[in-house]
Amino acid sequence: MITLTIDGKEITIEDGKTLLDAARENGIDVPTICFHEATTANAICRICVVEVEGQRVLQPACIVKAGAGMKVQTRSEKVIRARRTILEMLASTMDLSEADDIQAMMYDYGASSSRFPDAERRESEVKDDNPMYVRDYSKCLLCWRCVQVCADDAQYTYAINFEGRGYETQIGTFFDKPIPETTCVLCGQCVGVCPTGALKPKREFLLEQGMSPQEISVLNTGRKNRSKVKSQRS
């Protein structure tokens, strides 16, 4: 067991826990976006940053281990500025209409969705190329989870990876091939971990497009069709 202070409150927890565990287990709210129990934490969204005394830069609570005697602030001015600005930049970059959690965070931090006028948005056409799921990367916030579960965190299928770099990064397949022409096995794990509706079950997508359940069932997105798609791949 170790003892540290978070927001002036003395906290004792087991060794090896992260600052995020320490905070949440003690009722202190620290927001997260990229963090997910099922995937390796990469600490990329930085929304969970906290101020640790003696550290030059803010520390991502999701991966930094709680240490004895640490003095942590989860709501310092620096922390709030970073979180608010990250949220405002997200809102000026992508379509957050189906990312309820992030919208709630924006409200919490007083983040304005119009903070960056004339910002270039990251837009992409909807990719509807397989019977299982639809990809709309205008809604993608690059949390990496889909790439991770497709690879070493779950499926070992390696169907998707990154395109471009920096602001122009996007999730993509080998030379932009449609999903049925990749190694994808349509396991749906990526859809399960996507936080923003960028990856969506085809059925849900069609319902939203105004199709009735009957019309959709005629389309037959069931297992038979899936195995047909599989066998079409050589």
Partner 1 sequence: MSEIDLAPLKPAIEKFIPLGRSGLLPALHEAQEIYGWLPEQVADEVAKSLRVPLADVHGVIEFYALFYNEPIGRKVIRVCTDPACALKDADGLLNRLCKKHDLEPHPAEGHGQTTGDLSLTIEPSPCLGMCELAPAVWTMDDGRWTVGDGEARPRSVVYGSIRELTKNCGDGTTSLKQYGEYKGLQKALTMQPKAVVEEIKSAGLVGRGGAAFPTGIKWEGAANAPGDQKFVICNADESEPGTFKDRVLLLDDPHRTIEGMCIAAYAIGARKGYIYVRGEYPYIVPVLENALNEAREAGYLNGFDIEIRVGAGAYICGEETALFESIEGKRGFPRIKPPFPTTHGLFGKPTVINNVETLCNVPLILERGAAEYRKIGTEKSPGPKLFCVSGDVTQPGLYEVPFGVTLRELLDMAGGVAAGRELQSVLFGGAAGAFATSEHLDVKMTFDDLRAAGLPLGSGVVMVFDETRDMRDVLKRLGHFFAHESCGKCYPCQMGTQRQMEILNRIAEGKVEEGDFIRLQDVGWTMTDASICGLGQTAASAVLSAMKLWPELFKDDGRRMRDEKPVLKGENRKEAAIEKKAAKKSGKPRSKAAKKKTVVKPMKKTTRRKK
Cβ-based nearer residue to ligand SF4, 57 or 219: 57
Cβ-based nearer residue to ligand FES, 49 or 132: 49
**Count of residues in contact with ligand FES, rule CB under 6 A:** 12
Cα–Cα dist 230/190, whole Å? 18
Task: Assign 132 to helix, strand or coil.
Answer: coil
Cα–Cα dist 75/15, whole Å? 24
Q: Where are the alpha helices (DSSP H) in 92-141?
A: 100-108
- 17 binds partner 1 per the rule CB under 8 A: no
How much helix, strand and coil, in percent to the nearest 5, is found in the chain? Answer: 35, 15, 55
The region of 31-39, 68-76, 90-98, 201-209 touching ligand FES under the rule CB under 6 A is 31-39
Neighbouring C-alpha atoms within 13 Å toward the C-beta of 208: 9
Among 2, 7, 24, 43, binds ligand FES (CB under 6 A): 43
- 179 binds ligand SF4 per the rule CB under 6 A: no
Among 38, 68, 104, 119, binds partner 1 (CB under 8 A): 119
- 45 binds ligand FES per the rule CB under 6 A: yes
- 42 binds partner 1 per the rule CB under 8 A: yes
Among 32, 74, 130, 138, binds ligand FES (CB under 6 A): 32
CA-to-CA separations, 61 to 41, 64, 68, 76, 187, in angstroms, rounded: 11, 5, 15, 14, 31
- 33 binds ligand SF4 per the rule CB under 6 A: no
CA-to-CA separations, 109 to 88, 106, 145, 191, in angstroms, rounded: 10, 5, 25, 28
Of these partners, ligand SF4, partner 1, ligand FES, none, which one is at the site of residue 186 (CB under 5 to 8 Å by kind)?
A: none
Cβ-based nearer residue to ligand FES, 43 or 216: 43
The region of 7-15, 50-58, 109-117, 192-200 touching ligand SF4 under the rule CB under 6 A is 192-200
Strands (E) across the chain are located at 2-6, 9-13, 49-52, 59-60, 71-73, 133-135, 161-163, 170-172, 199-201
Where does this chain bind ligand SF4 (CB under 6 A)?
Answer: 140-146, 171, 193-196, 198-199
